Chains A and B, each alone.
Chain A
Amino acid sequence: MKIAGFLLLLSGWVLVLTAVVLLPAGGARSAFVLAGMAVEVLGLALAFWSHRILYRSRE
């Protein structure tokens, strides 16, 4: 589960880089950068959640 979270983090970063490289300045670039950030937030949430599940189950 945590690996999936890290894959989402990397995917979000690639989305941000792609937006910077491919899109011209303007709203579309900003929107895609923010979308990349949103994917990263999802990945972070998944990583936090999997850690919590792991340690709660051990206790």
Chain B
Amino acid sequence: MTLELSESGAVFVLLSILLIPLAIAGLALIHTGLGRSRNAGHMMMSCLCVVGVAAGTYFICGFAWQGVSGGTAHIARLGGRDWNWLAAQPAFFRGVEMNGSPASLTVWMQMLSVVLAAFIPLGSAAERWRLGPLCASAALLAGVTYPVFAHWVWGGGWLAQLGVSYGLGHGFVDAGGSATIQTVGGLTALAMAWIMGPRRGKYTSEGMPTAIPGHHAVFVLFGCLMAWAGWLGLNSAGAALFTGMAPRRAVLVALNTTLAAGSAALMTVLVTRVRFGKPDASLAANGWVAGLAASSAGCAFVPPAAAALIGLIAGLLVPFAIETLELRLSIDDPGGAISVHAIGGIWGILALGLFERFPAPVLNTADDPARLTSLSGAGQGLAQVIGVATLIGFVLPLTYGLNWLLNRWLPHRVSQEGERQGLDMHELGAGAYPDFMTHTDEFFQR
């Protein structure tokens, strides 16, 4: 089914989309603040380059493979039913009239969403990822991984059709991008952490991790506030464009987004206060963003109390996930991107299946007469589980395989000397804070 928007609805969606760059800027600040000062300029530079590369790749071929719901697509026949695998739109946005139509708004929102997804791996691979390979990796995400999965969820693909084709609730639902943006980005972050390995000096010869604190807590916490504003737009625009939510329900979306983020941060503050004696600012920031990531999938379809509960559980998961990855699994993730975006996103996807209250058919099932009278959402949980299985079983091997191949041709990791010197001096030739050269090499074993 194709979406129809009134004039006021289109203006509402456009204004919501205009907030999304705040989420992108917020993530850039968070990544920068959580790294050391010797890499700060390089991280911000990487963010700017990723914006250009991801948006450009999406323009060239990404949208052609993602498409819009109701657009032309490659369809296979499996088990007597149509399976919509891949969009077949023209490249370079040809055929989309940029006049405020739902398709043009989808293009604009998707271009920002793919940039947001491409930012996430920068957090896990920070302080050791060269500029050229990270741009190439962003192109792979924006040109292949993201469009394929986003088509399945937001472009009328087979996951969206699980409700109509197999009676699984409303099909896989992800209003604001817990799956398509957060988990796709988070799983790519995991792949990059696997491929590149930990930073030098992160683990002792006995395998014990050393703490490498970030350099700017204010960047991190201000980035969280910016991300909140951006997420309000992301969730509102996504719910309107991809589930057909009426704009007046944006009130619920805004409430749920805020409650989830706030409760997640408070839970992380509480957990770190109990475990370490004092609240940890960087972990609290991670909890905040995990709450935002978890809120996205069901932002328009869960009651506020459930949104607060979703946030509380996300805030509880994050510190334990970060500790487990670092301490037990030898995964060095300086920005906490895997725990925040992959684990927070997956929890948000599953939570929709647990707490959903659909007031009306969503876009996926609006053409199905049976859904108009049967809104119990039966099978919704199973549809959400199938979506998670697809992310872990298909997207993770795909993104790992692509980046592993890229690494054979264009090594991701900076040299040992470059890592010791810091990426600002090594790759850019100038530090971010030339007047305040205070860092030492305390994290490098000689």
Q: Which residues of A contact B (CB under 8 A)?
A: 2, 6, 9-10, 12-14, 16, 20-22, 25, 29-30, 33-34, 36-37, 40, 43-44, 47-48, 51-52, 54-56, 58-59
| B390 nearest CB neighbor, chain A only | A13
Interface size class of B (residues with CB under 8 A): 20 to 34
A-B contacts, 22 listed (Cβ < 8 Å) = A9-B393, A10-B394, A10-B397, A12-B392, A13-B390, A13-B393, A14-B393, A16-B393, A20-B162, A20-B166, A20-B386, A21-B78, A25-B168, A29-B382, A37-B385, A37-B389, A47-B194, A48-B329, A52-B329, A55-B330, A59-B206, A59-B207
Give CA–CA (A20, B172) in the complex, Å: 13
B90 within 8 A of A: no
* Of the residues B167, B203, B392, contact of A9 by C-beta under 8 Å: B392
A25-B167, A51-B194, A55-B198 are contacts. A34–B207 as well, Cβ < 8 Å?
A: no
Give CA–CA (A30, B168) in the complex, Å: 11
Within 8 A of A (CB), among B337-392: 379, 382, 385-386, 388-390, 392
- Decide if A33 touches B330 in the complex (CB within 8 Å): no
Give CA–CA (A32, B352) in the complex, Å: 21
Known interface pairs A13-B392, A37-B389; 20 further A-B residue pairs with C-beta atoms within 8 A, sorted by A's residue number: A6-B396, A6-B401, A9-B397, A10-B397, A12-B393, A16-B389, A21-B78, A21-B79, A21-B81, A25-B166, A25-B168, A30-B382, A33-B386, A48-B329, A51-B330, A52-B329, A55-B198, A55-B203, A59-B205, A59-B207
- Decide if B166 touches A13 in the complex (CB within 8 Å): no
Q: Which A residues are CB-close (under 8 A) to B79? A: 21-22
Q: Which B residues are CB-close (under 8 A) to A13? A: 389-390, 392-394
- Decide if A40 touches B194 in the complex (CB within 8 Å): no
- Decide if A10 touches B167 in the complex (CB within 8 Å): no
Give CA–CA (A55, B330) in the complex, Å: 7
Give CA–CA (A24, B312) in the complex, Å: 36
- Decide if B389 touches A12 in the complex (CB within 8 Å): yes
Q: Which A residues are CB-close (under 8 A) to B390? A: 13, 16
| B83 nearest CB neighbor, chain A only | A21
A4 to chain B, nearest CB (A): 12
* Of the residues B206, B329, B386, B400, contact of A16 by C-beta under 8 Å: B386
- Decide if B194 touches A33 in the complex (CB within 8 Å): no
- Decide if B331 touches A51 in the complex (CB within 8 Å): yes
Q: Which A residues are CB-close (under 8 A) to B400? A: 6
- Decide if A34 touches B379 in the complex (CB within 8 Å): no
Q: Which B residues are CB-close (under 8 A) to A37? A: 385, 388-389
Q: Which A residues are CB-close (under 8 A) to B100? A: none
- Decide if A33 touches B393 in the complex (CB within 8 Å): no
Q: Which B residues are CB-close (under 8 A) to A34? A: 385
| A45 nearest CB neighbor, chain B only | B329
- Decide if A36 touches B393 in the complex (CB within 8 Å): yes
B402 to chain A, nearest CB (A): 12
Q: Which A residues are CB-close (under 8 A) to B9? A: none
B197 within 8 A of A: yes
Within 8 A of A (CB), among B297-351: 328-331
| A48 nearest CB neighbor, chain B only | B329
Give CA–CA (A43, B400) in the complex, Å: 14
Give CA–CA (A12, B390) in the complex, Å: 9
A46 to chain B, nearest CB (A): 12
- Decide if A25 touches B379 in the complex (CB within 8 Å): yes
B331 to chain A, nearest CB (A): 7
Give CA–CA (A29, B61) in the complex, Å: 36
Give CA–CA (A43, B283) in the complex, Å: 29
A37 to chain B, nearest CB (A): 5
Q: Which B residues are CB-close (under 8 A) to A43? A: 393
A27 to chain B, nearest CB (A): 11
Q: Which A residues are CB-close (under 8 A) to B81? A: 21
- Decide if B397 touches A44 in the complex (CB within 8 Å): no
- Decide if A44 touches B392 in the complex (CB within 8 Å): yes
Give CA–CA (A30, B385) in the complex, Å: 10
Give CA–CA (A3, B214) in the complex, Å: 34
Q: Render B160-177 as a binary contact track against A, CB cut-off 8 A, 1 for contact.
A: 001000111000000000
Give CA–CA (A22, B379) in the complex, Å: 16
